[in-house]
Amino acid sequence: MTTPSPSPSPSGAAEVGGGAAQAGASGAAAGDSGAAPQEVTITLDGREVAARPGELLIAAAERAGVYIPRFCYHPRMRQVGMCRMCLVEVKGPRGFSLQPACFQPVANGMEVRTESPAVKKAQDGVLEFLLVNHPLDCPVCDKGGECPLQDQTLTFGPGETRFVEEKRHWSKPIPVSSLVELDRERCIQCDRCTRFAKEVAGDPFITFQGRGDHTEVNTFPDRPFASYFSGNTVQICPVGALTASAYRFKARPWDLEQVESTCTTCALGCRMVVQSSSGEVVRHLGVDDEAVNHSWLCDKGRFAFEASTAPSRRTHPLLRSDARLRPVSWQVALSEVAGRLRAVLATDGPGAVGVLGGARLTNEDAYAWAKLAKAVIGTDSVDAQLDDGLPAELVAGLPPATIADACAAKVLLFLGPDPREELPVLFLRLRGAVRDHGLDLVELSPVDTSLTDLARASLRYRPGQLVDLVRQLLGSLPPANPAVAAARDRLVAGGGEGVVVALGRSSIAESEEQTVAAAGLLRRMLPGATFLPLLRRGNVRGALDAGLAPGLLPGRQRLADGGAFATAWGGLPGAPGRGARALLEAAATGQVRALFLLGADPLSDFPDRSLARRALEAVELVVSVEAHPNASSEHVDVVLPAAAPSERAGTTTNCEGRLSPVGQKVVAPGLAWPDWAIAVELAAALGADLGFASPADIVAERARLAPLFAGVTSAVLAGTVGRMGALLPLRGRGPDGELGEWPAGATGGLERLDPMAVPGIASVESQGAPSEAGVVRAAGPVVAAPVGGRMAAGDDGPAALLSWEPPEALPATPPVDAYSLRLVAARRCYDGGTAVQASPSLAALAASPALRAHPSELERLGVASGTKVAVRAAPGRLELVLEADAGVPKGVAVLGAVPPAADAPGASALVRAGDPVTEIRLETLEAG
């Protein structure tokens, strides 16, 4: 699709002049510059239309309402001119000649004919040739009904073919990975999938092979298409050559319904449509959002919807009796919870109640739970993070940067987990920024990550020594090597203006103090720098903004400043409560007697498994509001079944603070309720009235009380902001009078989609195979979100930031123990997480846990890669397979944080909560 910012074409080659060089991700910069882009005029079919300099003819024509058929052209990839379908006549010195419109930048005064007899003849010929070997098995093909080849053949092609010979044959679908099937007979060699794999994802595992009519797309022998992004090739395939095994024969386009939504699998918040058939979600497709995901999704976000229909899904309230969870009615479950909670409150007061989790909830759900916890129960011991994120005040208190800012930064200091594992589409955005305009990426990481090859400087630090490295980068310590010195010079120039820091926890085997101290140093020494928090889990930013954090109230308000809430809610907790770690420590010693788990699984996700286990065993009443059973379920006393994504509507907030809608497409199975309704009913069982009869009531109260959400009313959410998402707080009014942040020159925000960019969305929008397919009829569901600039200091309107005081004292650097390795524990994309494990397509992809260390460590130990060794750490001992990995520095070992099987050894069994670093020692096992 096209976007309000300058040409979305990532090509640098086609750009003319300096003004257009800011294309693509740097839309925010273009908005700030204020200079209106120069326009050129072209004559299109005898009509004068305006175009942007450097824009490709095919995109300019589309904005002018002339659709030029195409297969290989995709607005988010470099053009290759493979398919020749977009041939148009362009006037040159020797008259009109046929030119591919996807390869022709517009020039002033250009004359173009798209409907002349010569063009028609060319289109006929191209389509006839494309169909020479195409099997025309449309009735069997999953693409039938939404197929660009089918649609464009009907619209532009010849009625019949002259070709009567036998077609080329290949064996019918072959799996190129466990998620994607390839039918080479249908392939028209448009180079979309191979280009995506090579250019966008950087996983060139599929490629063209053979010559002439034996050209085929295929994987390399014995090398599957093992990419986290393989589903995108299915999404952009213009024929049915690549199909998703999860969608195979599930539905036809004309019996699909769709709703726009936002993926909450990770905190990036990719925009997507959810498509369902017969009341069952069958497919997710990426929506092109300029600000966030550029139409891509990762395979986890694309296929994890399978979890919502998994047989293990919670559908009824469960109550533990005789050591087993048995189904009961809602009334029995709620009155049991209320009765036991009243007993706890009567004897030990609200401080003995804790609430953990909430990242699975929508913003409205989180608000209702925050009100239940803080106003009705009266506890402030509420934490949406499980000690694996960043302090809520830091997230809300650092000057924010958007993803677009990070991609357009002068220097991007990346200090966090491997984005390909934790925020996969952010990796695509960063990779695109490096590829297209040479983003200066400086990575600080304990081990090699997916960014190492992309970064201009990838600087290693031993766990526990991050602050030392940051001080070297800021010039307070002498640089350890020339690479640090070079990065330092680029970083500190101009007081950090234009520097974006992507900040997250690269390992949960370290406590957060090093990361917090590093953020404080960067904040103080680089006053111009902005920060993009890299948080774990879906809507964790939204949960923090809704007050699911100790000491905070909805809308980034401190508990102490919450006068409006105290009045409206009828009381607030007197003292700040405990965070996740303190809460579990208190629970383990019996000070916390009732614990609510809002989709949280402390046993898997909390860094210290033994503390989590002791806490869950000690707590008298554990209530889990969950959609799926998890490792902690064996300690749960009451299960309240909650609605999963696509089963309830609301909003979500991604890691950059962008509010966007989540849509409801199906109804929750069994007796599962949305989380806000559970909070309301539980409050009623406790004798209180939250005052919410619907999410609209929550939205209204939130807009009234929480300054951050000022203007976020139901009407605004139903309008463009609700459709496209917007950064909070809303500022200014858009062209249609709505609140929101708008880039300069945006005209209404909504733009039509390129129907061939994600064929599955346009076809469902128009319902069925239209005779004029490819022509967008109405403003489709796909819109470009406004590119948010950063919030200006001193702006009018509600305060965007909490005041956050960086800690003055630097943490001590833990001394290095030469006999130990320092553990790095980070999540993998496919691991033991609930969504992955409950999705049949993904569960098998989760790798078994292995400890990875530098080959020299294995030499020192005298074992071969793949040998089982004993791993000893403070909390206990594990036996793990040890693998050699040259990407892991000496003195460091890497282990996945959440292993695939619940009882398999994971890093959390080796970590002691609060320790600055985790030292492990390896020992060989006795033979036999």
At 355, list the tokens.
Answer: 């609430």
Residue with tokens 């086609």: 14
Residue 671: closest CA among 638, 633, 642:
642
Closest approach of Cβ 154 to other proteins, in Å? 11
Q: Which two tokens stand for residue 861?
A: 């130990």
Question: Which residue from 27, 37, 145, 760 is in contact with other proteins, where contact means CB under 8 A?
Answer: 145
Using CB under 8 A, which of the segments 131-139, 289-297, 634-642, 894-902 binds other proteins?
131-139
In the bound state with other proteins, the residue whose beta carbon lies nearer, of 515 and 763, is 763
Closer to other proteins by CB, 183 or 919: give it.
183
Q: Closest separation between CB of residue 264 and other proteins, Å? A: 29
Q: Is 173 in the site for other proteins (CB under 8 A)?
A: yes
Q: Is 125 in the site for other proteins (CB under 8 A)?
A: yes
Q: Give yes or no for residue 144 binding other proteins (CB under 8 A).
A: yes
Task: Write b or e for each residue in 764-783: b if 16 or more Cβ atoms lie within 10 A of its Cβ, otherwise e.
Answer: bbbeebbeebbbbeeebbbb
CB atoms within 10 A of CB 280: 13
Cα 472-475-477 angle, rounded to 5 deg? 50
Specify the pairing of strand 280-286 against strand 271-277: antiparallel
Q: Does 759 bind other proteins (CB under 8 A)?
A: no
Cis peptide before 729 (omega within 30 of 0): yes
> Is 255 among the residues that bind other proteins (CB under 8 A)?
yes
Taking the complex as a whole, the smallest distance from the CB of residue 255 to other proteins amounts, in Å, to 7
Give me the sign of the Cα torsion angle 806, 810, 811, 813: positive
Q: How far apart are CA 485 and CA 474, in angstroms?
A: 9
Residue type, 652: T
Residue (162 or 324) nearer to other proteins, CB: 162
Instruction: Choose the binding region for other proteins from 138-146, 520-528, 550-558, 793-801 (rule: CB under 8 A).
Output: 138-146
Q: Which residues pair with 771 in a beta bridge?
A: none
Q: Does 154 bind other proteins (CB under 8 A)?
A: no
The neighbour count for residue 220, using CB atoms within 10 Å, is 12
Nearer to other proteins, 140 or 812 (CB): 140
CA-CA distance, 886 to 657, in Å (whole number)? 37
| In the complex, minimum distance from the CB of residue 565 to other proteins, in angstroms, rounded to a whole number | 51
Q: How far is the CB of 139 from other proteins (least distance, A)?
A: 4
Q: Which of 18, 34, 93, 159 binds other proteins (CB under 8 A)?
A: 159
Phi, psi values for residue 321, rounded to 5° = -140, 140
Q: The tokens of 758 are what? A: 């994600």
95 forms part of the interface with other proteins (CB under 8 A): no
The stretch near other proteins (CB under 8 A) out of 37-45, 157-165, 415-423, 783-791 is 157-165
Cβ distance to other proteins smaller for residue 118 or 572: 118
Cβ 232 to other proteins shortest distance, Å: 24
Is 245 in contact with 178 (CB distance < 8 Å)?
yes
Does 172 interact with other proteins (rule: CB under 8 A)?
A: yes
- Which residue lies nearer to other proteins by CB, 142 or 857? 142
Report the residue number, 138 or 686, with the smaller CB distance to other proteins.
138
| Under rule CB under 8 A, residue 212 binds other proteins | no
Three-state DSSP class for residue 342: helix
User: How many residues are recorded in the chain?
Assistant: 928
Choose between 145 and 722: whose C-beta lies nearer to other proteins: 145
Does residue 254 touch other proteins according to CB under 8 A? Answer: yes
Q: How far lies 353's CA from each of 350, 598, 611, 740, in Å?
A: 6, 13, 17, 38
Per CB under 8 A, the list member of 139, 221, 478, 737 interacting with other proteins is 139
Q: How far is the CB of 277 from other proteins (least distance, A)?
A: 9
**By rule CB under 8 A, what count of residues binds other proteins?**
22
Question: Smallest distance from the beta carbon of 763 to other proteins, in angstroms?
Answer: 12
For every residue of 812-866, DSSP letters joined together read PPPPP-TT-EEEEEE--SSSS-HHHHH-HHHHTTSPPPEEEE-HHHHHHHT--TT
The structure tokens listed for 521 are 């140093």
In the range 234-253, which residues lie near other proteins by CB under 8 A?
Answer: 248-249, 252
Give 249 or 819: the residue with its C-beta nearer to other proteins.
Answer: 249
Chain residues in the site for other proteins (CB under 8 A): 118, 121, 125, 137-140, 144-145, 158-160, 162, 172-173, 248-249, 252, 254-255, 278, 768
